[in-house]
Amino acid sequence: MLYVVLKNSKEIGEYKYFIVNQLVWSYLFDVLLGIWKPVPLWPFYMGFGIGFFRSWKGIWAVLPFYATITVGIGMGVSIFMSFIHRYIYISPISWFAKLHERFSFKLFFYGFTFISIESGVMIPVFLLYVDREVLRESITSKYPFMGFFFENEPSIFGYDPALNNQLTVFYMFLILISLVGIVGFSIFMYCNFIRVMRKNERLLSPCTHKMQRTLFRIICIQLCLIFFFLLFPFILSVFFAAFGIRWTSIFALDFLMLCSLHTLADFTTVIYFVRPYRTFVSKLSCRSKDDTRKRSNPELIYAVSSL
Segment 148-160 shows an average pLDDT of: 88
Residue 306 lies in a domain: no
Residue 288 lies in a domain: no
- What range does the domain containing 232 cover? 2-273
Residue 269 lies in a domain: yes
Residue 208 lies in a domain: yes
86 CB-near residues (< 8 Å, 6+ apart): 15, 215, 218, 219
Bridge partner residues of 49 (DSSP): 38
Segment 276-290 shows an average pLDDT of: 62
Reply yes or no on whether the pLDDT at 306 is more than 50: no
Residue 279 lies in a domain: no
66 pLDDT band, cuts 50/70/90, is very high
Least confident range from 130-144, 151-165, 177-191, 218-232: namely: 218-232
Q: What is the pLDDT of residue 307?
A: 32
For residues 280 and 271, what is the distance between their CA atoms, to the nearest angstrom?
Answer: 9
Least confident range from 83-87, 173-177, 183-187, 283-287: namely: 283-287
Q: What is the pLDDT of residue 117?
A: 92
Tell me the pLDDT tens digit for each residue of 169-200. 888 888 888 888 888 888 888 788 778 777 77
Q: What is the pLDDT of residue 7?
A: 58
Cβ-based burial of 12 (10 A; exposed 0-12, middle 13-18, buried ≥19): middle
Angle at 50 between CA 48 and CA 54, to 5 degrees: 75
For residues 161 and 46, what is the distance between their CA atoms, to the nearest angstrom?
Answer: 11
For residues 138 and 261, what is the distance between their CA atoms, to the nearest angstrom?
Answer: 37
For residues 201 and 239, what is the distance between their CA atoms, to the nearest angstrom?
Answer: 42
Residue 213 lies in a domain: yes
Reply yes or no on whether the pLDDT at 298 is more than 60: no
Q: What is the pLDDT of residue 227?
A: 80
Reply yes or no on whether the pLDDT at 90 is more than 80: no
Q: At what angle do helices 103-127 and 167-199 cross, to 10 degrees?
A: 160
96 pLDDT band, cuts 50/70/90, is confident
Q: For residues 99 and 46, is the Cβ–Cβ distance under 8 A?
A: no
Q: For residues 273 and 221, is the Cβ–Cβ distance under 8 A?
A: yes
Q: What is the pLDDT of residue 245?
A: 73
| 173 compared with 284, residue with greater pLDDT | 173
Q: What is the pLDDT of residue 286?
A: 66
Whole-structure pTM value: 0.77
304 pLDDT band, cuts 50/70/90, is very low
Q: What is the pLDDT of residue 290?
A: 54
Residue 301 lies in a domain: no
Q: For residues 138 and 46, is the Cβ–Cβ distance under 8 A?
A: no
Alpha helices of the chain — where are they, by DSSP H?
A: 2-7, 15-36, 59-87, 95-100, 103-127, 132-142, 147-152, 167-199, 206-226, 232-242, 248-273, 275-296, 298-306
CATH at 37: 1.20.1070
Q: What is the pLDDT of residue 123?
A: 92
What mean pLDDT is reported for the chain? 78
Residue 287 lies in a domain: no
Tell me the pLDDT tens digit for each residue of 99-111. 888 888 989 999 9
Q: What is the pLDDT of residue 276?
A: 61
Count of the separate structural domains present in the chain: 1
303 pLDDT band, cuts 50/70/90, is very low
Q: What is the pLDDT of residue 43?
A: 64
Backbone region of residue 13 per phi and psi (left: phi > 0; alpha: psi in -120 to 50; beta: other values):
left
Helix (H/G/I), strand (E/B), else coil: 159: coil
For residues 72 and 200, what is the distance between their CA atoms, to the nearest angstrom?
Answer: 36
